[in-house]
Amino acid sequence: ASAPHRRGAAPRARAQRSASHERCLCLGGRRLDAPRATRVAPVGSFEARIDSTAAGGDRVARHQGIVVFVPRSAPGALLRVDAEQQGRLMRGRIAELIDPSSERIQPPCPHYTVDKCGGCQIQHLDYARGQLPAKSRIIADALTRIGRAAIDAPTVEKSAEQWRYRT
């Protein structure tokens, strides 16, 4: 008796498996390229200073050598962060602004803080002093770190309108 298989799919003998399939196997028969469940473990609360910007607009801090992504934070700010560890990194949220950044402003759109709208990830930063430099750093990081191109950070031109425009 043979084992049941999906409708329309012929059972494959072990010898018929592709060479790439055989290279992808690891201990226990799980493919290395198969998705894994990410373990999320609460870390608790700690103080952290924001030191850089990630591609999606989140800011980056470090805690005990681990990268912590903190959305809606500003460069140079000292925060109390509530975080969860997700694999080799942490995701945090601002529990308290201990020493706010000089680039932080009150976001003009009520949806930004009330329902955490995702349309404007850096609305809490001053346009000229925070948003334009952040966009420049994001572009430079993508081209140098990811694209492996040796470039200087580009100049992001100021728009005549700060809201309701696309560049």
Strand 40-49 versus strand 89-99 pairing type: unpaired
Lowest-pLDDT range, 47-56, 84-93, 114-123, 139-148?
Answer: 114-123
pTM over 0.95: no
Q: Which of 30-44, 85-99, 113-127 has the lowest mean pLDDT?
A: 30-44
Categorise residue 127: left if φ over 0, alpha if ψ from -120 to 50, beta otherwise: alpha
Q: What is the Cα–Cα distance from 56 to 4, expressed in whole angstroms?
A: 45
Helices (H), 16-130: 19-24, 110-114
Instruction: Tell me how far CA of residue 151 lies from CA of 20, 57, 104, 146, in angstroms.
Output: 37, 21, 28, 12
pLDDT band at 19 (very low <50, low <70, confident <90, very high): very low
Q: pLDDT per residue over 108-160, tens digit each?
A: 888 887 777 767 788 899 999 999 998 898 889 888 888 888 888 899 999 88
